[in-house]
Structure 1
Amino acid sequence: MATSGLIVIDKPSGMTSHDVVARVRRIAGTRKVGHAGTLDPMATGVLIVGVNRATKLLGYITGHDKVYDATVRLGVATSTDDAEGETVTAVDANGVTDEQVRAAFAAQQGNRDQVPSSVSAIKVDGKRAYALARDGHEVALRARPVRIERVEIHQIRRDGEYVDVDVTVECSAGTYIRAIARDVGAELGVGGHLTALRRTSIGEVSLDDALTLEALAEQAEPVGVVLAEAVRRTLGSREITDEQARELSYGRRIEPETDGPEVVGAIAPDGEVIALVSASGKPVVVFAPA
């Protein structure tokens, strides 16, 4: 059985995050595999996969900020806010100036309520929104608070009636880049949709850490980031004594440590991750012995 830890996958286009988990289960030889931060099928890039005991980290990793590279096409709105949907409107976008494009993207920055794209991984009545939308169902999702730290425009390209904009977006968990494309297009009055999306990082984990599924299958040990290292990189750690390790293993509170992150990994002198512990000293997750 594979070691407990994280595997960082460079997800290919056309696969769901669940497809990737199924492949990793076969490669790692364990059913206990999950992922942090769903990528829709058309998207590529960083997908963090937890194996065995590291699956308990995934809920915390999902909440980390993310960075994406994307291409937005202005002049066409689609039913799914991406290139796989049906064209809803098509307008000559050449009347939109570069200055207007830059201003519309800049206006997306900051704290805002965003209506997620219908082609998102949000579940509606137990089914993924993107599956319902692509099956022709109308999907209405509620606005959610998000934070968009920056939108950096790299290039504005004009292709006939269309304007293609290459951007990098740094944002909070729960932000939908498709929705940014849709909203910028609506603001400019020409419609817009996403033609490419690649996640380049989740928190401190980036594409530099990632393997393709093909490369992963060739590894003697598929887990690239063992549990203790995974905790240190994604949550931070607190070094504890043997006595504190015993207390935590029984689910008991230890001395508070308020000068640090809200939740960190508690690591015993022998390097074993005992628990995830709050700043108040309360264990929020206790790991079974390896």
Structure 2
Amino acid sequence: MTEPRPPRVPAPSGLVVVDKPAGLTSHDVVARVRRALGTRKVGHAGTLDPLATGVLVVGVERATRLLGHLMLTEKAYDATARFGVATTTDDAEGEVLTTADAAALASVTPERIRAALEDHRGDLDQVPTAVSAIKVDGKRAYQRVRDGEQVELAARRVTVHELEVTDVRGLEADFSLRCSSGTYVRAIARDAGASLGVGGHLTALRRTAVGPYDLGLARTVEEVAQDPRGSVLPIAEAARRAFTSHDLTPAQAADVRVGRRLDDLALSGLTALFDPDGEFLALYEPRGEAGARPVAVFV
């Protein structure tokens, strides 16, 4: 007689902060987390190209609904740019478009490289790289480029809060930055190269943080495979890290569980609400001049 199978234990709801290696797509990482935790309900916030490494925030079960709210948060990167060559993708994986001659390169000093990169601090009208995931008439820009189409994207307003050049070696420069969501670091290398008159592209990119989730929390894909449940940051802790939090009274918690407005709760912005036992219930926002209304309920 066949032994009955033990009941399946659902995957925990929370975030897996993955230190993505080079060569894997964000979709590859999601597929590995799905296999490790035995659930299809997995998604990610903020795509990383195969060239890039570092922080990829992956949501599991109920926490997948947090991802859309995390997409708008600040990000931090370490990057390396090379000047003298422009490529179709603004990084080392693209085809060469132009190569600067010796006379032009002779004018590129370390001081000019630093100034060209540091000029990208503050509010910028940035044209995204042509191989971005932005949709053009319903089709991803990168797919149009792969299909041989010419893609021209409109400039978008982004903010680079901090940018520091940490090293210059000949025509290569290392720099670190903290920026708004939607900023393309490859475009910074491209535009800095254009301002130098020699072209430029990105040769390395490592994302060091997405909002409050940084490399200190990150697990490699191998570590996730070895200890999948231990790799999940519980949804309550994930929410407290990312949002202003508020602990409710039992009566308020009962109302929040069914998505009612709270006329007696004053909030200053998007807020994570918790019941008296510490369970994460919902995200609420201010409602007019008084009270609060639900944005997303997680129970």
**CA-to-partner distance for each residue in 1:50-102, whole Å, 9 max, x for gaps?**
10111111111111111100000000001110111111111142321222112
**Corresponding residue of 1:268:** 275
RMSD (CA atoms): 1.5
Please say if 1:96 is aligned against 2:96: no
Shift of 1:134: 4.0
Range 203-212 or range 132-141, more displaced: 132-141
Range 239-248 or range 185-194, more displaced: 239-248
Residue among 85, 89, 95 paired with 1:86: 95
Please say if 1:150 is aligned against 2:150: no
Structure 2 distance, partners of 1:14, 1:95, is 35
Please say if 1:210 is aligned against 2:207: no
The TM-score, its normalising length taken from structure 1, stands at 0.93
**Corresponding residue of 1:122:** 134
SS at structure 2 position matched to 1:282: strand
Structure with bigger gyration radius:
2
**Code of the aligned partner of 2:284:** V
Structure 1 distance, partners of 2:213, 2:160, is 19
- Unpaired runs of 5+ residues, structure 1, are none
Structure 1 distance, partners of 2:58, 2:22, is 17
Number of aligned residue pairs: 282
1:119-268 equivalence runs, <5 A: 119-158=131-170, 163-219=171-227, 221-254=229-262, 255-258=264-267, 260=268, 262-268=269-275
Change (3 A) 1:24 1:127: farther
Structure 2 distance, partners of 1:250, 1:175, is 37
Change (3 A) 1:220 1:37: closer
The answer to whether the 8 Å contact 1:80/1:134 transfers is no
Report sequence identity in percent. 54
The TM-score, its normalising length taken from structure 2, stands at 0.90
The answer to whether the 8 Å contact 2:18/2:218 transfers is yes
Shift of 1:256: 3.0
The answer to whether the 8 Å contact 1:4/1:223 transfers is no
Residue among 19, 43, 59 paired with 2:52: 43
- Unpaired runs of 5+ residues, structure 2, are 1-9
Structure 1 distance, partners of 2:223, 2:145, is 33
